[in-house]
Amino acid sequence: MTTTIDGLQYAKWSEKIFRQMRQGKVDAVHVTIAYHENFRETVANIREWNLLFERHADLILHGRTAKDVLLAKETGRTAIFFGSQNPSCMEDDIGLIEVLHTLGLRFMQLTYNNQSLLATGCYEACDPGLTRMGREVITEMNRVGLVVDMSHSAERSTLEAIEHSTRPIVVSHANSASWHPARRNKSDVVLKALGETGGVLGFSTYPHHLADGPACTLEGYCTMIARTIDVMGLQSVAIGTDLCQDQPDSVVEWMRCGRWTKNIDYGEGTASAPGFPDMPSWFHDNRDFQNIAEGLRAVGLRENEVRAVMGENWLRFFETNFGPKA
């Protein structure tokens, strides 16, 4: 029986989407519960998730360990794992790392696009690497089993996080920069270092991360995945669609501008196209994961390789990285 795990989604969550997850046989999803929300606001979002878990107990469950993925499979549900795309949720308090982990957080990006207290985001002009606090926080994340995610971080910070962390880290949603040189995609240097340390890359379907944008072909996407296996090794590649389903454009403004500017920052968009771009034809929502699996077979991946990419690599990563070191 195959396992399907998505390394990142951020949707306007609803019963409709949870039913689509079941239709697509998605066993687990890492969901973003906070961008620029502070601790209290993140708790409010967790409170909303608790309501969703209660109301839709037939479709989803709160995932805390890899065993919850197996429980989800056995009971025909989807395990939801929490993550934050910025360290705003821990504010300036290293003591909140353990508190957030206890509340269920399993991934935290050290930065979104800007400089944080911990590291540098990919939109800053200059990246001096991890800060003093960043090193302390990674050590604490390693201790409790909160996974370091460098999806939106700049190159030097990412390499230093890989080096400083005593446990593997992830880039939950990005693609190869040698395929499509977006600021958010990762260089072969980063991908190699990530692979060598047991880290995982989740391949994104967000059009700004795709060669040719919404027109990117499934074959092109899957060929990039096959080439990235050559760079990182099979065990380090997975899916992280970055699916932003049913969100209003106001949400993309919150993601990009938070509270750091009084002006509009368009991030990966432009003034003429400020909202969410159209998704590629072969991936609109959770029902389309089999398209990707078929695309991988079509470019020559063997069945065990397809299974590794579609879920088994994430599952193995979850098994050893969501709590204190065994």
Positions in the binding site for a copy of itself (CB under 8 A): 36, 38, 88, 91-95, 114-117, 120, 123-129, 131-134, 136, 140, 258-263, 265
Give the whole-angstrom CA distance, residue 245 versus residue 6. Answer: 14
Nearer to a copy of itself, 123 or 318 (CB): 123
Would you state the structure tokens that stand for residue 247, as one six-digit string?
Answer: 């969100």
Nearer to a copy of itself, 240 or 267 (CB): 267
Nearer to a copy of itself, 92 or 230 (CB): 92
Nearer to a copy of itself, 46 or 96 (CB): 96
Nearer to a copy of itself, 62 or 156 (CB): 156
Q: How far is the CB of 117 from a copy of itself (least distance, A)?
A: 6
Q: How far is the CB of 100 from a copy of itself (least distance, A)?
A: 14
Q: How far is the CB of 250 from a copy of itself (least distance, A)?
A: 17
Q: How far is the CB of 98 from a copy of itself (least distance, A)?
A: 10
Q: How far is the CB of 19 from a copy of itself (least distance, A)?
A: 36
